[in-house]
């Protein structure tokens, strides 16, 4: 679990790169590089207020995967203190 001050979603990752998605820590935030198709799905999920999961890592790697979970919560006070 990584805490971040901000998140940047970059929809310019090419499918030919061999990655499902890439995540990296940038200063005190998180940058997630995703494909244009995933960006469209993410936008729709945000409009619909639905949870969304992004799987990061190489397409052919089975064991080493990272996940970026976007979750909607009922009570923001318990999750964003400080």
Which domains can be identified in the chain, with CATH numbers? 6-70 (3.30.1360.220)
Contact 56, 32 (CB under 8 A): yes
Question: CA-CA distance, 45 to 50, in Å (whole number)?
Answer: 5
The C-alpha atoms of residue 80 and residue 68 are separated, in whole angstroms, by: 17
Are 13 and 24 a contacting pair, CB within 8 Å? Answer: no
Mean pLDDT by 10 residues, the chain (82 residues): 84 92 91 96 96 92 83 71 56
pLDDT for the residue 17: 92
| pLDDT at res. 76 | 62
Record the pTM: 0.79
Residue 61 confidence (pLDDT): 76
């Amino acid at each position: 679990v990584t805490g971040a001050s901000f998140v940047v979603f970059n929809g310019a990752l090419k499918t030919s790169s061999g990655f499902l998605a890439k995540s990296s820590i940038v200063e005190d935030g998180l940058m997630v590089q995703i494909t244009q198709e995933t960006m469209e799905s993410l936008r729709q999920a945000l409009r619909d207020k639905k949870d969304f999961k992004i799987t990061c890592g190489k397409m052919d790697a089975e064991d080493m995967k990272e996940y970026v979970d976007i979750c909607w919560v009922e009570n923001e006070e318990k999750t964003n203190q400080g």
